[in-house]
C-alpha cells in the first residue's frame, strides 16, 4: 500500500464529510447570522430517520436516504418556525438566539436518546465493507459516494446561489436583512427555505457518517465542531471558503498526525482554529 495515497484518501474522505456539514451551516449563518448549534442534532436526526425506516419499516436504503435528507430538512424548517422565526420577529439579540439553538440541540439529542437509546448503531449490516483500490489507496463504496455527494453539493450550492433568483435573494438577505425586507422580500419565507436546504444537507452528512461508521445521539456535538471550524477557517458565511476550510481541516488532521503522534489529532483542529483566529480572523475567503 502506498501510504501517501492512503493519507490523501483519508484526508479527502474527512474533508468531504466536513464539507457537507459546513455547507448547510454556512448557508444558515449567511442568511440569519446564527451560529446554529442545533445543526449537529439535525444532522444526527437524518441518520436516525434512515435507521428507523430501514430497520423498523423495512425500507430500501435508497428511498430511506431520500426520506432522511427530506426529514432533516423539514426538521430544520420546523425549528425555524417554532423557535428562530419568533425570536427574529422579537429582534432577539444574537446571544439569546444562540442559546435557543443550544437548547434545541440539547432537546433533539435527548429525544434521539429516548427514542433509540444511547448506544452506537450501524446503518449498514456488519459485513466487511467492499473496498476498492484507487491509485494505491483503499476506499469503501460509501466513502466514494460521500466524496461524490460533497462535490455535487458544493457545485450545486455555488450554481444555486449565483444564478437563481432565489439565490440572489438569499445573498441580499445575507448582506442586509432590513434593506431586503424594505425592498419587498418576504424574508421569513426565504429564511425558512434556507433552513430547509441547509438542514437537508446536514441530514445527508449525518446519514453518510452513519453509513461509514455509525450513529449515536451524542454525535451532533462533533458534527457541529466539524462544521464550525472549517466555516471560521474559510470565512464564516462564505460558501466557497467553507469548502476550502473543510478540505484544509481534513488534510491538516490526517497529514498532521503522519508527522506528529496521532493522539494530537483533536488538537490539530483547534490549533488550526486558533491560528486563524489570531492571524486571519476573517478566514481564508473573508467574512460574508
Partner 1 sequence: MSSSGRLVLGVVIIVAVLAGVYALLQSPETANGPAAPVAQEPVTIGFIGPLTGDAAAIGQNAKAAVELAVEEVNKAGGVAGRTLNVIYEDGQCTGKVASNAANKLINADNVPVILGGLCSGETASFAGAAEQAKRVVLSYCSSAPSITQAGDYIFRDYPSDLFQGAFGAKYVYEKLGKKKVAIVYVKSDWGSGIRQVFADEFKKLGGAIVAEEGYEQVARDLRTQLTKVKAAKPDLVYFLGYTEGSIVGVKQAAELKLGVPLFGADGWDDPKIWSGAGAAGEGAMYTVVSAPLSDAFKAALKAKVGSDEVGLCSAQAYDGLKLLAQVMAKAGTDGTAIKDELYKTEYAGGVSAAKIAFDANGDPVEANYAVKAVKDGKAVEQK
Chain residues in the site for partner 1 (CB under 8 A): 1, 3, 6-7, 10, 13-14, 113, 118-120, 122, 125-129, 131, 138, 140, 209, 213-214, 216, 218-219, 222, 253-254, 257-258, 261-263, 265-266
Our CB check for partner 1 shows the closer of 271 and 286 to be: 271
CA distances from 119 to 111, 112, 218 (A): 14, 11, 10
Q: How many CB atoms lie within 10 A of CB 285?
A: 19
CB of 6 to partner 1, least distance (A): 5
Q: Which is nearer to partner 1, 82 or 122 (CB)?
A: 122
Using the minimum distance from each CB to partner 1, give the nearer residue, 80 or 253. Answer: 253
What is the spatial distance between Cα 54 and Cα 236, in angstroms, rounded to a whole number?
36
Shortest CB 107 distance to partner 1, Å = 16
At closest approach, how far in Å is the CB of 179 from partner 1? 43
**Which grid coordinates belong to 124?**
449498514
Rounded CA-CA distance 62/152 in Å is 17
CA-CA distance, 158 to 241, in Å (whole number)?
A: 11
Closer of 92 and 129 to partner 1 (Cβ): 129
Whole-number minimum distance, CB 97 to partner 1, in Å? 27
Least distance in angstroms from the C-beta of 258 to partner 1: 7
Between 72 and 268, whose beta carbon lies closer to partner 1?
268
CB of 257 to partner 1, least distance (A): 6
d(CA 270, CA 92): 30
Output the CA–CA distances (angstroms, integers) from residue 230 to 165, 172, 251, in the order listed.
27, 23, 12
Rounded Cα distance between 202 and 198, Å, is 6
Whole-number Å distance between alpha carbons of 247 and 74: 28
Q: Which is nearer to partner 1, 167 or 214 (CB)?
A: 214
Q: Closest CB to partner 1 among 163 and 258? A: 258
Shortest CA distance to 232 belongs to which of 257, 267, 269, 200? 269
Q: Rounded to an integer, what distance in angstroms lies between the CA atom of residue 187 and that of residue 1?
A: 53
Q: How many CB atoms lie within 10 A of CB 16?
A: 26
Q: How far is the CB of 213 from partner 1 (least distance, A)?
A: 4
Query: How far, CA to CA in Å, does 55 sit from each of 70, 72, 95, 115, 116?
Result: 18, 18, 40, 14, 12
Query: Is the CB of 99 or the CB of 119 nearer to partner 1?
Result: 119
Least distance from partner 1 to the Cβ atom of residue 119, Å: 6
Amino acid at each position: 500500500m502506498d501510504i501517501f495515497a492512503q493519507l490523501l484518501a483519508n484526508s479527502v474522505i474527512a474533508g468531504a464529510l466536513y464539507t457537507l456539514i459546513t455547507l448547510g451551516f454556512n448557508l444558515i449563518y449567511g442568511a440569519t447570522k446564527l451560529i446554529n448549534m442545533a445543526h449537529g442534532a439535525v444532522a444526527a436526526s437524518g441518520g436516525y430517520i434512515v435507521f428507523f425506516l430501514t430497520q423498523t419499516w423495512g425500507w430500501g436504503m435508497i428511498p430511506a436516504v431520500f426520506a432522511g435528507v427530506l426529514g432533516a430538512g423539514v426538521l430544520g424548517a420546523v425549528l425555524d418556525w417554532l423557535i428562530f422565526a419568533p425570536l427574529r420577529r422579537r429582534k432577539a439579540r444574537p446571544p439569546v438566539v444562540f442559546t435557543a439553538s443550544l437548547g434545541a440541540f440539547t432537546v433533539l439529542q435527548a429525544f434521539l436518546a429516548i427514542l433509540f437509546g444511547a448506544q452506537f448503531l450501524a446503518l449498514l449490516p456488519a459485513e466487511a465493507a467492499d473496498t476498492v483500490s484507487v491509485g494505491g489507496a483503499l476506499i469503501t463504496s460509501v466513502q466514494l459516494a460521500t466524496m461524490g455527494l460533497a462535490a455535487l453539493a458544493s457545485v450545486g450550492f455555488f450554481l444555486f446561489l449565483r444564478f437563481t433568483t432565489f439565490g440572489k435573494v438569499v445573498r441580499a438577505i445575507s448582506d442586509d436583512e432590513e434593506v431586503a425586507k424594505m425592498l419587498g422580500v418576504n424574508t421569513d419565507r426565504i429564511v425558512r427555505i434556507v433552513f430547509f436546504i441547509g438542514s437537508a444537507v446536514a441530514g445527508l452528512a449525518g446519514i453518510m457518517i452513519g453509513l461509514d461508521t455509525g450513529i449515536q445521539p451524542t454525535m451532533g456535538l462533533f458534527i457541529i465542531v466539524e462544521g464550525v471550524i472549517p466555516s471560521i477557517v474559510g470565512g464564516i458565511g462564505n460558501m466557497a471558503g467553507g469548502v476550502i476550510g473543510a478540505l484544509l481541516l481534513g488534510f491538516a488532521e490526517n497529514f498532521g498526525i503522519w508527522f506528529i503522534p496521532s493522539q494530537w489529532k483533536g488538537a490539530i483542529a483547534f490549533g488550526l482554529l486558533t491560528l486563524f483566529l489570531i492571524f486571519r480572523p476573517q478566514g481564508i475567503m473573508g467574512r460574508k
